[in-house]
Structure 1
Amino acid sequence: MILGVDKEGYREIFDFFVGAARKRIWMAGDSSIALQKRRTRWGVFDCLSWLEKAFQTVYPKADVQRCVVHRVRKTLHCIRRKDQLEVAEELKLIFYLHRNKEIVIQMFQQFESKWSSKYPRENKSWGNELDVILTLMDYPSSIPSVIYSTNAIKCTIKEIRNN
């Protein structure tokens, strides 16, 4: 699903693809005519690296935002159960409660130093992705709540399935 969001946070479905067709369409660069008419500033992605690369091919000047919710969930699957609650709370403090990019980076560095010896692989992957996780902080405060996650798309798809 291609979901557009304007400056006020209003959402509009631009296009919807079913099944494997979306990969073929995006890889060929044949994005929706409705989408092509609009100025695309960013794309929000979960773990579909091919889709992110295809988007950047079609829209090379647009920013990419990695879904924070998916990234946190992925991390928690790799954390020992006894540490999950503490790690989740710290990530929530870092990425959901602060709007200042410098403060978030400082807090992440503290998180990284605390957990790096216990979870070096997860810390490294967060560090490698931090720039695309923090893209949302380069936009006005009305936008991040809409683009920090792909959940709006998932909720819309669920609603369509139920009807």
Structure 2
Amino acid sequence: MTTQKFDLDSVLKALQDGKNLTGKDGALTPLIKQLTEAAMKAELENHLAESSEPNRKNGKSTKTVKGPTGAFELETPRDRAGTFEPQLVKKHQTHLTEDLERKILALFALGNSYQDIRAHIADMYDISISNGTINAVTDKLLPELQAWRERDLEAIYPIVWLDAIHYKIKENGRYVSKAIYTILALNIEGKKELLGLYLSDQEGAHHWLSVLTDLNNRGVKDILIACVDGLKGFPEAIETIYPNTEIQHCIVHQIRNSLKYVASKNQKAFMADLKCVYKAATLNAAEIALDELEAKWGEKYPLVIKSWRCKWPTLSAYFKYPDYVRTPIYTTNAVEAVHRQFRKLTKTKGGFANENSLLKLLYAGILKAQERWTHPIQNWNLTLSQMAIHFPGRLDDYIEL
């Protein structure tokens, strides 16, 4: 067989003519081939030199290897005794590196469909892969996901956001709606950390109780503030496991739910008055504004006003803090941002064949999101100082003052 030698001048000319550096017919492929064969030849010579038995070279065998720059025919040296085991490209190995698997996982983590992944890989590497191959590669995330879901957690989290997102999953031949429970927290350093993903048939306070029990079993002994949506029974579920946790109902969820019962022609005026409540500078000012809201709209929308009155203790918890503490806790926007990331990954999927196909995709998205969570949130040191005042003694063992 004639070996294609790497010639720098010809490669430069090929690039000038518009030929790709990597991918199908990549200009670098001959160089990768040469370097790999040279390294394997050196491996064999070293093996022969260290052998105590008579042995010598015995020609070459050829196989197609799929590498990061494209596929090529690799000539593997052999020995007469058959004791040579190449390490760079092992026997029966058909991929030069793990680069291909990393590329598949990277494309998967961006929400690409299997069809799109196949097209990308074919374009980049001139390799045809099946859905089964992609599935086998992405399934390697599952043991990692399980270990992540069972890992030990910190003893205290100053702020935790809890919310759910729903997906269609195939079960017994039909698609059913299931809830993914997402637990996002700020750790003692003020950095975001996703504590877990939990799947259930439906969102409900009873299942949240099992989620919170799992957090406790994994080491979470205290949560200072829990930011939640308006699910009935949610505060009671939290109180069962974490009786000293302060509940902050999400203002944004409350506003959305309120507007469902306000006629469209009145929504603009109603929102202007409602804004005076949740944007007030102090608790006293907020309560005065709520009285005024009731006086103006109470007869027309009694259910809306009643909802604000009933939930007022947990809706108004954030007023005791300065603005820089209020910002992260008065809404569940932080965890909803994670859900937006999930939706980007799953927007092309009408449903999922099973729970694992959904969970491994969401986990890939988590790994991507966590790359950006390297710094504390804004004003974290000031926020932590405020919490040390409002929750005396509970942070003493975890921060240096």
TM-score, normalised with respect to structure 2: 0.37
Aligned to 1:144: 326
- The one-letter amino acid paired with 2:340 is K
Q: For 1:119 and 1:112, locate their aligned partners in 2 and report how far apart those are by CA, in whole Å.
A: 9
Q: For 1:13 and 1:104, locate their aligned partners in 2 and report how far apart those are by CA, in whole Å.
A: 33
Q: How much is the aligned-residue C-alpha RMSD, in angstroms?
A: 2.6
Which structure has more relative contact order (CA 8 Å, sep 6+)? It is 1
When the two structures are aligned, how many residues end up with a matched partner?
162
Aligned to 2:101: none
Q: Does 1:58 align with 2:58?
A: no
Tell me the alpha carbon deviations over residues 96-149 of structure 1, each in whole angstroms, 9 at most, x when there is no partner.
3x2311111111111111111211221122111111100111234322111111
Contact 1:137–1:144 (8 Å) recurs in 2: yes
Q: Secondary structure at the match of 1:79?
A: coil
Q: 1:73 aligns with which of 238, 256, 265?
A: 256
Aligned to 1:129: 311
TM-score, normalised with respect to structure 1: 0.83
Q: Which has the larger radius of gyration?
A: 2
Contact 2:277–2:286 (8 Å) recurs in 1: yes
Q: 1:45 aligns with which of 210, 225, 228?
A: 228
Q: For 1:119 and 1:63, locate their aligned partners in 2 and report how far apart those are by CA, in whole Å.
A: 29
Contact 1:7–1:143 (8 Å) recurs in 2: no
Q: For 1:35 and 1:101, locate their aligned partners in 2 and report how far apart those are by CA, in whole Å.
A: 37
Contact 1:65–1:133 (8 Å) recurs in 2: yes
> Deviation of residue 82 (structure 1)?
1.3
Aligned to 1:12: 193
Q: What are the ranges of 5 or more consecutive residues in structure 1 without an aligned counterpart?
A: none
Q: 1:99 to 1:2 in 2, by over 3 A?
A: farther
Q: 1:117 aligns with which of 285, 288, 299?
A: 299
Q: What are the ranges of 5 or more consecutive residues in structure 2 without an aligned counterpart?
A: 1-181, 346-401
Moved over 6 A (4+): none
Contact 1:9–1:142 (8 Å) recurs in 2: no
Q: For 2:292 and 2:188, locate their aligned partners in 1 and report how far apart those are by CA, in whole Å.
A: 33
Q: 1:21 to 1:33 in 2, by over 3 A?
A: farther
> Deviation of residue 37 (structure 1)?
3.5
When structure 1 is superposed on structure 2, of 127-136 and 140-149 the one drifting more is: 140-149
